[in-house]
Structure 1
Amino acid sequence: MKAGVICNPKSHQNRTGHIAFGTPFRSFASPGVVVATPRTRDELTGVLLGFARDGIDLLVIDGGDGTVRDVLTRAGTIWGDDWPRIAIVPSGKTNALALDLGVPADWTIEQALAAAAANHSVERRPVEIERRDDAAVLRGFLFGTGAFVSATALAQRTHRVGAFHGVAVSLALGWAVAQTIFGRASSQWRAGEHIKLRAALADGRGEVAVDDRRYLLLASTLNRLPVGLKPFGTPRAGMKLLVVDAPPRRMIRAVPLLLSGSESPWLDASGYRRFDADAIDLTIDGDFILDGEIYPGGDLRIRPATPIRFVVP
């Protein structure tokens, strides 16, 4: 088995210096395995092209959700519809994909290689975001706009004071809810963003159209989210959406129901709407977040990407 390993030297756990920083490549203890530590996205593209020329069977990503996003975005134009298997070694501040896959926080490269040799894998489809103005494509697993942008900024502040993973998510969520509940209707938290959306529902069940201000829009292909949150309802495969009216109503009652996965019709009637979608056409003036990174809005096409086999324990 030929394997290529991408180690992000900037990932939270990798800053302890257990990887080689002096050269972009180094030999690994296992035969046929090469480790790269690219520091820029252009270097990352070069490394991935080298792995493709070598015909690797397994791509190991040692980093967090942001590293996974960058690798999938750059690798999509290289492998197209014929991806190698991918293993995640979670070493970032957030590792939502690893949690969804059931990969333990202390998983090592050696364990990932052993699981790949034993053919342990599951299929996941990233979210693919295409800009209509320049055809640039991003790939990740959790998209959000509206209040999600501000909430993500809060989570990143908690990182700076030493809170990570589920703790950071919980702190940011609690502060965002408090700001929304107690803020004025005209505040940044409550006023929302203008969203123009047309979503083709899964299995040909029609479509949903929105052209108004909305507090929040989330889309994800993850089955599970950190700290047991279930904003999309019952965990399931496929691309799922949550759209919340602005200003959000009855949040004190709604938030516990929403985050616990309640299927109560009251949520939908109160402006907390969930959908399963095959594709989304979206126009937003504000920014959006993909796996922790902020990007400018515009005219976007969002859909599930090519299925990828991910190695699991």
Structure 2
Amino acid sequence: MIYNPRSHRNIRGNFEFSLCPNVLTAQPDSLAQLTTAMSEFAEKGIHLLVICGGDGTVRDVLTCGLEIFGDDWPAIAVLPRGKTNALSVDLAIPRNWGLQDALAALDHGKRVYRCPMKVTAVSEPGKPIAGFILGAGAFTKATHAGQRAHKLGAFGSIVVGVTGMWTLMQFMFAARGNAWRRGARMRIGLGNTDKPMGYSGKGDPSMRQLLFASTLERFPAGMRPFGALKTGLKLVIIDQISRRAAMMIPIVLMSKLKFRLRQRGIHQLLTTQFSLSIDDEVILDGEAFPSDDYRIEEGPELAFIVP
């Protein structure tokens, strides 16, 4: 088990490791220590990797594991202890799920298979990062707003709802020069051929108001940002849309509006991989990464233990 004592719900409580003497545990304080712990787990041939933390902890563990486990991973169980826990929402893991529950589910539970995204920066070609939610443009603004909401005591789906409403209000009422509506300058290439992403003709063709990508299949509050698309690497890209189109976003998120979205500047699509050249930050599972040229593709298929 990888235990992150800095995760939101781990800070106030001390995990009683004596209750699980037959479980290998590690509390790494750095990525170097995490890599060492993961390497030791691999050498011992573990059958279950338990991650006790939030989405950021999952991202770091999977990133280290890309080199260590390759395509041959043990089963994984996630104990949701972070501030948002998007992966746990997708896997329908109870908030109070504990280590003993995960161990019992190894034999009696189910397995859900997901492929994380593998994100590689051109500036660091040998160091891919693994994660489940990637965003840019207004998504970056919303993430920073959500982090401020955390400081005020709001967590989980509440933060998603509050930041989502604030983003929508900016889309609807802010001036075109506002950072939320302006978005970020980005170039997107789809598939192996890097085919340029199409544009609706709304706003500046070199700008996109928002980019959101994920391999998850379920989201808080029943939202369906990708419409009918469910499995695989999915994208939502919003051009610099009009206020009128912005008013339709709530029904698009609930998959109630499915026609003429591209003409309105809202693109929902499935791809095997894509490239992203951007002059602004990119957010991957809550952490900001600098402007760069990125290649995003599906990583190895992982088996997650669920109740």
Same fold (TM over 0.5): yes
- Report the counterpart of residue 54 of structure 1 in structure 2: 44
Q: Which runs of 4+ in 1 moved over 6 A?
A: none
Contact 1:121–1:311, Cα closer than 8 Å, also in 2: yes
Partner Cα separation in structure 1 for residue 295 and residue 100 of structure 2: 38
Residue 270 of structure 1 aligns with which residue? 264
Residue 300 of structure 2 is aligned with which of 303, 306, 312? 306
2:165 aligned with 1:169, yes or no?
no
Where does 1:181-200 land on structure 2 (aligned, <5 Å)? 181-200=172-191
Mapped contact 1:28–1:34 kept (Cα < 8 A): no
Task: Confirm or deny that 1:109 pairs with 2:99.
Answer: yes
CA distances 1:180-209 after superposition (whole Å, capped 9, x unpaired): 2221111111112111111129xx9x9552
> 2: CA distance between counterparts of 1:286 and 1:110?
43
Q: Pick from 186, 204, 208: which aligns with 1:214?
A: 208
In structure 2, what is the equivalent of residue 23 of structure 1? none
Paired residue type of 2:197: A
- Paired residue total: 300
- Please name the residue that 1:9 is paired with: 5
Whether the 8 Å CA contact 1:191–1:247 is kept in 2: the answer is no
The aligned residue for residue 201 of structure 2 is none
In the alignment, structure 2 segments of 5+ residues that lack a partner are 199-204
Structure 1 residue 234, shift from structure 2 partner:
2.7
Q: Aligned pair in 2 of structure 1 residues 248, 161: CA closer, same or farther (>3 Å)?
A: same
Equivalence for 1:159: 150
Report the Cα distance in structure 1 between the residues aligned to 2:5 and 2:67, rounded to whole angstroms: 24
Residue 36 of structure 1 aligns to a residue in which SS? coil
Q: Secondary structure at the match of 1:50?
A: helix
Give the letter aligned to residue 84 of structure 1.
P
Aligned CA-pair RMSD: 1.9
Structure 2 distance, partners of 1:179, 1:262, is: 22
Q: For 1:54, give the aligned amino acid.
A: K
Displacement of 1:146: 0.5
Report the CA distance between 1:262 and its aligned residue: 2.9
Paired residue type of 1:14: N
Give the secondary-structure state (helix, strand or coil) at the position aligned to 1:283: strand
TM-score by length of 2: 0.93
TM-score between the two structures when normalised by the length of structure 1: 0.91
Alpha-carbon distance change, 252 to 199 in structure 1, aligned in 2, over 3 angstroms? closer
Post-superposition shift, 1:27?
Answer: 5.5
Counterparts of 2:46 and 2:258, CA distance in 1: 47
Aligned-pair CA distance for 1:179: 2.1
Say whether the 8 Å CA contact 1:185–1:247 is kept in structure 2: no
Question: 1:249: how far off?
Answer: 4.3
- CA separation of 1:64 and 1:235: change in aligned 2, threshold 3 A: farther
Q: Give yes or no for contact 1:127–1:221 (8 Å, CA) kept in 2.
A: yes
Q: Are 2:122 and 2:293, in contact at CA under 8 Å, matched by a contact in 1? A: yes
1:23-63 Cα distance to aligned partner (Å, 9 max, x none) = xxx555253x1121112221111111111111111100011
1:209-265 deviation per Cα after TM superposition (whole angstroms, max 9, x unaligned): 256211001110000112222111136111110010114442453211221123521
Q: State whether residues 51 and 79 of structure 2, in contact with CA within 8 Å, keep that contact through their aligned partners in structure 1.
A: yes
How many Å separate the matches in 2 of 1:7 and 1:299? 33
Partner in structure 1 of residue 235 of structure 2? 241
The within-5 A match list for 1:68-107 is: 68-107=58-97
1:126-137 to 2 correspondence within 5 Å?
Answer: 126-135=116-125, 136-137=127-128
The answer as to whether partners of 1:240 and 1:276 remain within 8 angstroms in 2 is yes
Give the aligned residue type for 2:140.
Answer: V
Deviations 1:48-105 (A, max 9, x none): 1111111111100011111101100111110001011100010110111111111111
Q: Compute the displacement of 1:117 (Å).
A: 2.1
Cα distance in 2 for residues equivalent to 1:41 and 1:106: 27
